[in-house]
Amino acid sequence: MKLYVQTWGCQMNQLDSSRIVQLMKSADYEPTDRVDDADLIILNTCSVRDKAEQKVYSALGRWRTLKEEKGVILGVGGCVAQQEGEALLRRAPHLDLVFGTHNMHKLPQMVEEAREAARRSVETAFYRDPFYLEDPSGLPETEGAKAYVTIMQGCNKVCSFCIVPRVRGREVSRSSDNIVRDVEALVERGVKEVMLLGQNVNSYGRTVEGERSFPELLERINAIPGIRRIRFTTSHPHDLSPELVDAFVRLGNLCEHLHLPLQSGSDSVLARMRRGYRLDEYLERVHSLRKRRPEVAVTTDMIVGFPGETEAEFEETLAVVREIEYDDMFTFTYSPRPRTVAAKVYRDDVPDEVKGDRCRRLQELQKSIALRKNRSLIGTEQEILVEGPSRLGRDQLMGRTRTNRIVNFTPGEATVPAEMARVRVVDATPNSLVGEAVGAREVVQ
């Protein structure tokens, strides 16, 4: 039988989807890229922005005929499933199953009951024990040289705009022994780079008696023989500890990249967002990191058009972006999410045209900064991990620098996919570098 999975949203959802595939393989489902071939369709959803719930109903509507004509089993998982639960089954009579963010492990049984007994089911319980974050087969599957590893899930913060704590639950951390075991197994299968995932990785381990801290976890992973690159996301600025700054100095395999969402450059907006820090505190942390490790690329998330955001407040955001000179930025226009504090307390009063205009202005500014920074790298040599063919075609390959910049490059004779390569930067755009492979392939001992 065939399984088609559609994934929306963040890296954690992508990892969850690969687990869904793995889980269902054990129930004799093989993945397919063609929805028309599927016997089981799973939509793994994100509810962080926009009209996520509406999008789910539209997608389900498109698959209705497959249900009617072929009797395909339809399931919705992820954050919208967690948020809407039962309501999804009520509003979409052809939907068979709904599973929340802690309930993926129940999927094979839910599918079997739908198939054998036409039973429709909803599973959205939250658990405090992180058993559901462990890999279903005991060890993560992987292809290629990069892998995601979930270290924690959920968030104990209360940002007023954010639905994540509601749909992913409170912070739960996996045991560091299990994480290290997984990374060792991945390295054994050729993985050179791991991305550690969590909604707020800096508070890893805090809710578990006797567990290691995040910097201590990084230290253990750094010591695994064969690991070349460690990345992590996402960090909350409030919890960026001096020990973590230290880790960037001490740990040779920790990549020089920190994603540190600021959200707004205005203290009054930050207070309405309930972010828990002021701009000067954020700047102080970025400066202390850059003082000790100037090479670290800093990237961020920004929301424009938060309720009540004035032109002057928005200009404070532009000013801080000019000051920090981020290496990259994700820009979002505010959208009220159901039952969040901001949606309850504030009117969504910034007109859409103003939101769009601010978004464009911020992106333009960031583009000019990124172009300048990328151009300054022309002529340098960079170590990259070769990921595969470039989207540009023309026999080019693609890889990333340790600072997470994309490099499209002309391979040399010694260039091997999924290995490290050295590349000379010959040109730059705002989003990527252009390069040429140099020298012989590095031999990993």
Q: How far is the CB of 191 from ligand F3S (least distance, A)?
A: 27
164 in contact with ligand F3S (CB under 6 A)? yes
200 in contact with ligand F3S (CB under 6 A)? yes
Q: How far is the CB of 164 from ligand SAM (least distance, A)?
A: 5
Q: How far is the CB of 317 from ligand SAM (least distance, A)?
A: 12
- Among residues 119, 91, 194, the alpha carbon closest in space to that of 151 is found at 194
- Length of the chain as a residue count: 445
Q: How far is the CB of 254 from ligand SAM (least distance, A)?
A: 19
What is the 3-class SS of the chain, one letter each residue? CEEEEEECCCHHHHHHHHHHHHHHHCCCCEECCCHHHCCEEEEEECCCCCCHHHHHHHHHHHCHHHHHHHCCEEEEEHHHHHHHCHHHHHHCCCCCEEECCCCHHHHHHHHHHHHHHCCCEEECCCCCCHHHHCCCCCCCCCCCCEEEEECEECCCCCCCCCCHHHHHCCCEECCHHHHHHHHHHHHHCCCCEEEEECCCHHHCCCCCCCCCCHHHHHHHHHCCCCCCEEEEECCCHHHCCHHHHHHHHHCCCECCEEECCCECCCHHHHHHHCCCCCHHHHHHHHHHHHHHCCCCEEEEEEEECCCCCCHHHHHHHHHHHHHHCCCEEEEEECCCCCCCHHHHHCCCCCCHHHHHHHHHHHHHHHHHHHHHHHHCCCCCEEEEEEEEECCCCCCCEEEEECCCCEEEEECCCCCCCCCEEEEEEEEECCCEEEEEECCCCCCCC
Closer of 199 and 253 to ligand F3S (Cβ): 199
Partner whose footprint covers residue 157, from ligand SAM, ligand F3S, none (CB < 5 to 8 Å by kind): ligand F3S
Q: How far is the CB of 301 from ligand F3S (least distance, A)?
A: 8
Between the CA atoms of 411, 415, 420 and 425, what dihedral angle is there, to the nearest 10 degrees? -20
**Number of shown-chain residues binding ligand F3S (CB under 6 A):** 9
Closer of 162 and 397 to ligand F3S (Cβ): 162
Residues 234-263 that bind ligand F3S (CB under 6 A): 236
Distance CA(352)–CA(272), nearest Å, equals: 20
Out of 66, 110, 122, 162, name the contact with ligand F3S by CB under 6 A. 162
Closer of 227 and 329 to ligand SAM (Cβ): 329
Binding site for ligand SAM (CB under 6 A): 10, 48-49, 161-162, 164, 199-200, 234, 261, 263, 301, 303, 332, 334-335, 337
Q: Each residue of 9-24: b (16+ CB within 10 Å) or e?
A: bbebbebbbbbbeebb
Q: How far is the CB of 176 from ligand F3S (least distance, A)?
A: 22
Out of 75, 100, 140, 165, name the contact with ligand F3S by CB under 6 A. 165
Closer of 119 and 278 to ligand SAM (Cβ): 278
Partner whose footprint covers residue 105, from ligand F3S, ligand SAM, none (CB < 5 to 8 Å by kind): none
Closer of 12 and 20 to ligand SAM (Cβ): 12
299 in contact with ligand F3S (CB under 6 A)? no
Closer of 162 and 269 to ligand F3S (Cβ): 162
Partner whose footprint covers residue 48, from ligand F3S, ligand SAM, none (CB < 5 to 8 Å by kind): ligand SAM
Closer of 158 and 426 to ligand F3S (Cβ): 158
Q: How far is the CB of 198 from ligand SAM (least distance, A)?
A: 8
Partner whose footprint covers residue 165, from ligand F3S, ligand SAM, none (CB < 5 to 8 Å by kind): ligand F3S
Q: How far is the CB of 330 from ligand F3S (least distance, A)?
A: 12
101 in contact with ligand F3S (CB under 6 A)? no
Tokens, residue 330: 């994700």
Partner whose footprint covers residue 97, from ligand F3S, ligand SAM, none (CB < 5 to 8 Å by kind): none
Q: How far is the CB of 175 from ligand F3S (least distance, A)?
A: 22
- The site for ligand F3S (CB under 6 A) is made up of 155, 157, 159, 162, 164-165, 199-200, 236
